Chain A
Amino acid sequence: MTATPTGLAPLAAGGRRLRDRRPPAALRPWLLLAPALLVVVVLFLGGFAFGVAQSFGYLPFLQSEALSLDAYRELFRDPAVRASFGLTFRIALLSTAVSAVLAVVVGLLIRGTRRGRRLATLLFQLNLPVPHVVGATAMLLLLGQSGLVSRLSTAVGLTEGTADFPALTGDAFGWGIIAEYVWKETPFIGVVVLAALTTGIAPYEEVARTLGATAWQRFRHVTLPLLTPAVVSTSVIVFAFSFGSYEVPYLLGRPFPSTLPVVAYESYRSTDLTQRAPAMAIAVVIALLIGLLVLVYMRLSERFLRAAR
Chain B
Amino acid sequence: MRRRALALAAGTALLALTACGGSGGDTASSGAEFDLSDWASVEAAAEGQTVNWYMFGGSDPINAYVNGWVKDALAEKGVTLNQVRVDDTAEVVNRVLGEKQAGRDTGTVDMIWINGENFKTGKQADLWYCGWADDLPNAEFVDFDDPAVTSDFGEPVEGCEASWSRAQSVVVYDSAKLQPADVASLDALESWAKANPGRFTYPAPPDFTGSMVVRTFLYDVAGGPDDILGEFEQAEYDELAPQLWERLNALEPSLWRGGETYPQGGPEVQDLYGKGEVDAFLSYGAGDLAQQVADGVYPATTRTAVFEEGTIGNISFVTIPDNAPNKAAALVLANILQSPEGQYQKQVVTGAYPGIDLAAVPADVKAQFDAIEVPETDLPFEQQVRNSQPELVAEWVTALEEGWKANVLQR
Q: How many residues of A contact B (CB 8 A)?
A: 33
Complex contact A256–B94 (CB within 8 A): no
**Cα separation A250 to B23 with both chains bound (whole Å):** 35
Is the CB of B406 closer than 8 A to any CB of chain A? yes
Segment among B67-75, B115-123, B222-230 that sits at the interface with chain A: B115-123
Instruction: With CB as the reference atom, state the residue of chain B lying closest to A53.
Output: B15
**Given the interface contacts A53-B15, A256-B405, A269-B91, does A163 sit within 8 Å of B121 by beta carbon?**
no
Segment among B4-12, B44-52, B353-361, B362-370 that sits at the interface with chain A: B4-12
Complex contact A45–B409 (CB within 8 A): no
**Cα separation A267 to B206 with both chains bound (whole Å):** 10
What residues of B have a CB within 8 angstroms of the CB of A146 in the complex?
272, 275-277
What residues of B have a CB within 8 angstroms of the CB of A269 in the complex?
88, 90-91, 94
Q: Closest CB-CB distance, B314 to chain A, in whole Å? A: 15
Q: Closest CB-CB distance, A232 to chain B, in whole Å? A: 25
Is the CB of A214 closer than 8 A to any CB of chain B? no
**Cα separation A83 to B35 with both chains bound (whole Å):** 55
Complex contact B406–A79 (CB within 8 A): yes
Listed A/B pairs (24) with beta-carbon separation below 8 Å: A41-B14, A45-B7, A49-B15, A50-B15, A60-B19, A61-B100, A145-B277, A146-B275, A146-B277, A163-B257, A163-B277, A167-B257, A170-B257, A170-B261, A171-B261, A172-B260, A254-B262, A256-B204, A256-B409, A256-B410, A269-B88, A271-B117, A271-B121, A271-B206
CB < 8 Å neighbour of B23 from A60, A62, A145, A171: A60
Is the CB of B142 closer than 8 A to any CB of chain A? no
Q: Closest CB-CB distance, B243 to chain A, in whole Å? A: 22
What residues of B have a CB within 8 angstroms of the CB of A163 in the complex?
198, 257, 277
Is the CB of B234 closer than 8 A to any CB of chain A? no
Complex contact A273–B121 (CB within 8 A): yes
CB < 8 Å neighbour of B18 from A46, A61, A79: A46
**Cα separation A272 to B90 with both chains bound (whole Å):** 10
Given A45-B10, A271-B117, 5 further pairs, Cβ under 8 A:
A46-B15, A53-B15, A170-B261, A256-B261, A271-B93
**Cα separation A62 to B127 with both chains bound (whole Å):** 12
**Cα separation A270 to B401 with both chains bound (whole Å):** 10
**Cα separation A41 to B262 with both chains bound (whole Å):** 41
Encoded as 1 (CB less than 8 Å from any A CB) or 0, chain B from 368 to 411 comes to 00000000000000000000000000100010000001100110
**Cα separation A273 to B23 with both chains bound (whole Å):** 18
Q: Closest CB-CB distance, B162 to chain A, in whole Å? A: 20
**Cα separation A62 to B409 with both chains bound (whole Å):** 30
Interface residues of B in 80-103 (CB under 8 A from A): 88, 90-91, 93-94, 97, 100-101
Is the CB of A162 closer than 8 A to any CB of chain B? yes
Is the CB of B125 closer than 8 A to any CB of chain A? yes
**Cα separation A41 to B405 with both chains bound (whole Å):** 38
